[in-house]
């Protein structure tokens, strides 16, 4: 008897595993109606998969790679079945590595490769691709069915400033459709066509600008190949860095320092802030700044704005630092735009100050400044080109690199992060940050940072209990009542992450059923530490979320200053340049407005039925 039978997929007691079967000759027990794949995994028996993704409960059986050979009680001949959606049966004999099963697995991978572009060396997933792994596992040595002309005729969508949708590399696993529809509940992606012409398309749109996509990038995180990815701008970044006439400023987000080291073989959640600074200097970056500093500035602006709204009886106020959330509000719920804080995101705040305040301090012509932003977020690329953030043809943020692009950039420069001697910031104007600025990188952090400062503004003293644990957690929606004292008193706050839960909360607000003063929204589950531009994990959606969050909170605990208003560089910025939070100059430089971009989706009954049946024909 195999002894690794552990808790079931839904947390059931192992004693409930009452179905007896054998897998590769090993006696195993399974839960009633458990799939063969799930049972095999609990017993540490490997079955190759591609389309399946367990932690989003996605088992469509479309790739057919997980085929196994089974012999059921009462049957004379064995059968080939997909293990991801075939339930176990008493007395079943399963062979995952029989000659017939292995031949079928190899054939399925060969068929998958038949209309998959074969230029792996130029793909952004080269060396980190689940399809490549499968080809190696099944021993694929040839591709008899490859049709280059048909493959190259499949669509490539370059219409988004943030993402690329390349159907020449798609394997039709439908993970992207599942995460967008069932988890984020944006429903921007759909399967269209039949047979070899079947592709992932944008629902009711020919390009990204006219779709309901909000550029959250969660579809990119679950894609097993290079079919979905960020728009790569590493060459453009090198052009800036290598131009002697330009002054390149690199800023990196709170989450990047705790969600980057694993790319270079370091333990997940390692804080690599010092190594990032050293690497930037080695490749020729002129000025390295910290987006954490701008997060502290955002708290000063947003907190002051919130207090004013509370005095005026305007509630609730939504945070505005997440660009995918801003897109979601503008496209799906423009009626709530007046409730959004007008404060720019930390990225845009730092870029703005880097092109106004910083040149004065450095004695540099502002026209020579180029700001490169390193973010764990695909939507930041979209944010950087928003018309509100482009002035006289010049953007506030010149270029955004996702964490993945930054890793590629360093590798192109021959840099291995784990070999770098950590360095420190050396620009004494926009690099210091508080612990409050650091926790912006995880869900609930913006709210906690804001409460620390608002309490001090209202009461003239610091909050006694600096860590507001009631605002932390991984539930989709969390709420709390916080006593800010003074004339403000108790305020009701809520934190939501993931657009599925965000949709539910927004609709509750619109119905008048949600009673909140302040609501923090993060489009990505877990917040920025699991943003759509962060490192991808094979066979898993968000496996490193908790380790990254733990390190973020440790950065806060170890900080000498833990409140945004106590950051000495922020104090100097207001004293020397911005005058006061929400002053005329601060409002002109650090605040923005939003635009109604509603896209209404309308479907006939036939279209809905075709979508449900995943085909344009029902047999």
Q: For 6-15, write each residue's pLDDT tens digit.
A: 555 566 777 8
Q: What DSSP designation does 273 have?
A: H
Kindly tell me if the per-residue pLDDT of 612 is higher than 90: no
pLDDT at 610: 67
- Contact 491/518 with Cβ under 8 angstroms? yes
Mind giving me the DSSP string for 594-605?
Answer: -----------H
Phi and psi dihedrals of 162, rounded to 5? -110, -40
Q: If you average pLDDT over residues 339-367, what whole number do you get?
A: 96
pLDDT at 195: 82
Closest CA to 35 of 84, 105, 72: 84
Kindly tell me if the per-residue pLDDT of 42 is higher than 50: yes
- Contact 174/191 with Cβ under 8 angstroms? yes
**pTM for this entry:** 0.92
DSSP-assigned beta bridge partners for residue 228: 165
94's CB contacts (< 8 A; 6+ apart) are 21, 22, 23, 24, 36, 40, 68, 69, 70, 83
pLDDT at 196: 82
- Contact 229/166 with Cβ under 8 angstroms? yes
Q: 546: pLDDT confidence band, cut at 50, 70 and 90?
A: confident
- Contact 350/251 with Cβ under 8 angstroms? yes
d(CA 200, CA 217): 15
* 600 against 75, higher pLDDT: 75
pLDDT at 6: 54
Strand runs labelled E in 150-227: 156-157, 163-166, 189-192, 199-202
At 346, list the tokens: 């930390």
Phi and psi dihedrals of 365, rounded to 5? -65, 125
Mind giving me the DSSP string for 460-472?
Answer: SS--SS---GGG-
pLDDT at 396: 97
pLDDT at 616: 40
Q: If you average pLDDT over residues 170-187, what whole number do you get?
A: 95
d(CA 619, CA 36): 27
Q: 549: pLDDT confidence band, cut at 50, 70 and 90?
A: confident
pLDDT at 600: 73
Give the mean pLDDT of the chain: 91
d(CA 406, CA 257): 12
Kindly tell me if the per-residue pLDDT of 5 is higher than 90: no
Q: 446: pLDDT confidence band, cut at 50, 70 and 90?
A: confident
- HSE-up of 410 (CA within 13 Å, CB side)? 25
Query: Which segment of 182-186, 414-418, 475-479 scores lowest on mean pLDDT?
Result: 475-479
419's CB contacts (< 8 A; 6+ apart) are none
Helix (H) or strand (E) holding 67: strand 67-71
Q: If you average pLDDT over residues 593-600, what whole number do you get?
A: 91
Q: What DSSP designation does 329 have?
A: H
Terminal C-alpha separation, the chain: 43
pLDDT at 4: 44
- The alpha helices in 333-420, defined as continuous H runs, are 346-354, 357-362, 379-384, 403-412
Kindly tell me if the per-residue pLDDT of 571 is higher than 80: yes
pLDDT at 427: 86
- The CA R_g of the chain, rounded to the nearest whole Å, is 26
Helix, strand, coil fractions of the chain, as percent rounded to 5: 40, 15, 45
- Contact 290/251 with Cβ under 8 angstroms? yes
307's CB contacts (< 8 A; 6+ apart) are 454, 457, 458, 488
d(CA 429, CA 408): 29
Kindly tell me if the per-residue pLDDT of 532 is higher than 50: yes
Torsion of CA 600, 602, 607, 613, to 10 degrees: 60
Answer positive or negative: Cα dihedral of 160, 162, 166, 172.
negative
pLDDT tens track for 197-235:
889 999 989 999 999 999 999 999 999 999 999 999 999
d(CA 349, CA 353): 6
- Contact 580/296 with Cβ under 8 angstroms? no
Closest CA to 189 of 157, 141, 234: 157
pLDDT at 618: 36
d(CA 67, CA 78): 13
pLDDT at 572: 95
pLDDT tens track for 255-288:
999 999 999 999 999 999 999 999 999 999 999 9
Kindly tell me if the per-residue pLDDT of 3 is higher than 50: no
d(CA 256, CA 555): 13
d(CA 1, CA 7): 17
Q: What DSSP designation does 576 have?
A: I
Kindly tell me if the per-residue pLDDT of 369 is higher than 90: yes
d(CA 171, CA 295): 40
Phi and psi dihedrals of 250, rounded to 5? -110, 130
Query: Which segment of 269-283, 436-450, 567-581 scores lowest on mean pLDDT?
Result: 436-450
Q: If you average pLDDT over residues 474-494, what whole number do you get?
A: 86
d(CA 441, CA 461): 26
Kindly tell me if the per-residue pLDDT of 163 is higher than 70: yes
d(CA 107, CA 67): 11
Closest CA to 253 of 528, 568, 554: 528
582: left (phi > 0), else alpha (psi -120 to 50), else beta? Answer: left
pLDDT at 615: 43
- Contact 361/428 with Cβ under 8 angstroms? no
* 315 against 467, higher pLDDT: 315
């Amino acid at each position: 008897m195999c002894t690794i039978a552990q808790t079931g997929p839904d947390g059931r007691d192992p004693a409930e595993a009452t179905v007896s079967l054998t897998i590769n000759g090993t006696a195993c027990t399974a839960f009633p109606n458990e799939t063969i794949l799930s049972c095999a995994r609990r017993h540490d028996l490997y079955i190759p998969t591609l389309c399946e993704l367990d932690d989003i409960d996605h088992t469509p059986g479309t790739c057919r790679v997980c085929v196994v050979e089974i012999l059921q009680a009462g049957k004379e001949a064995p059968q080939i079945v997909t293990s991801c959606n075939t339930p176990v049966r008493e007395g079943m004999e399963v062979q995952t590595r029989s000659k017939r099963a292995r031949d079928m697995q190899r054939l399925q991978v060969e068929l998958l490769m038949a209309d998959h572009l074969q230029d792996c060396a130029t793909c952004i997933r080269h060396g980190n691709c689940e399809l490549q792994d499968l080809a190696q596992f099944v021993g694929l040595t040839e591709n008899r069915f490859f049709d280059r002309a048909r493959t190259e005729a499949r669509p490539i969508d370059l219409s988004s400033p943030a993402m690329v949708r390349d159907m020449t590399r798609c394997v039709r696993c439908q993970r992207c459709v599942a995460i967008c529809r069932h988890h984020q509940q944006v429903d921007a992606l759909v399967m269209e066509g039949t047979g070899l012409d079947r592709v992932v398309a944008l629902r009711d749109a020919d390009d990204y600008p006219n779709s309901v996509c909000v550029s959250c990038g969660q579809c990119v995180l679950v894609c097993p190949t290079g079919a979905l990815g960020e728009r790569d701008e590493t060459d453009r970044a090198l052009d800036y860095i290598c131009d002697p006439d330009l002054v390149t400023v690199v800023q990196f987000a709170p989450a990047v320092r705790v969600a980057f080291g694993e790319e270079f073989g370091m333990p997940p959640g390692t804080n690599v802030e010092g190594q990032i600074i050293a690497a930037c200097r080695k490749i020729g970056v002129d000025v390295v700044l910290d987006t954490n500093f701008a997060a502290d500035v955002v708290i000063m602006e947003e907190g002051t704005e919130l207090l004013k709204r509370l005095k005026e009886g305007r509630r609730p106020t939504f945070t505005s630092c997440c660009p995918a959330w801003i897109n979601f509000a503008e496209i799906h719920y423009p009626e709530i735009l007046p409730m959004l804080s007008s404060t720019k995101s930390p990225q845009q705040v730092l870029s703005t100050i880097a092109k106004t305040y910083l040149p004065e301090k450095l004695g540099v012509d502002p026209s020579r400044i180029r700001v490169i932003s390193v973010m764990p977020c695909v939507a930041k690329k979209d944010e950087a080109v928003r018309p509100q953030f482009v002035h006289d043809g010049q953007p506030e943020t010149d270029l955004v690199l996702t964490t993945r692009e930054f890793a590629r950039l360093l590798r192109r420069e021959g840099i291995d992060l784990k070999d770098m001697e950590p360095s420190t910031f050396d620009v004494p104007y926009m690099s210091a940050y508080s612990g409050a600025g650091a926790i912006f990188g995880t869900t609930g952090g913006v709210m906690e940072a804001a409460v620390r400062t608002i309490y001090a503004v209202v009461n003239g003293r610091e909050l006694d209990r600096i860590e507001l644990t009631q605002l932390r957690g991984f539930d989709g929606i969390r709420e709390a009542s916080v006593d800010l004292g003074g004339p403000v008193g108790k305020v009701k706050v809520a934190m939501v992450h993931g657009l599925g839960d965000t949709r539910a909360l927004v609709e509750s607000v619109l119905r008048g059923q949600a009673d909140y003063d302040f609501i923090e929204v993060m489009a990505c589950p877990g917040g920025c530490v699991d943003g759509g531009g962060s490192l991808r994990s094979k066979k898993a959606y968000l496996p490193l979320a908790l380790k990254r969050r733990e390190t973020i909170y440790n950065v806060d605990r170890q900080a000498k200053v833990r409140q945004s208003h106590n950051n000495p560089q922020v104090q100097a910025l207001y004293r020397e340049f911005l005058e006061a939070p929400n002053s005329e100059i601060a409002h002109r430089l650090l605040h923005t407005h939003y635009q109604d971009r509603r896209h209404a989706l309308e479907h006939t009954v036939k279209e809905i039925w075709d979508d449900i049946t995943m085909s344009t024909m029902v047999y």
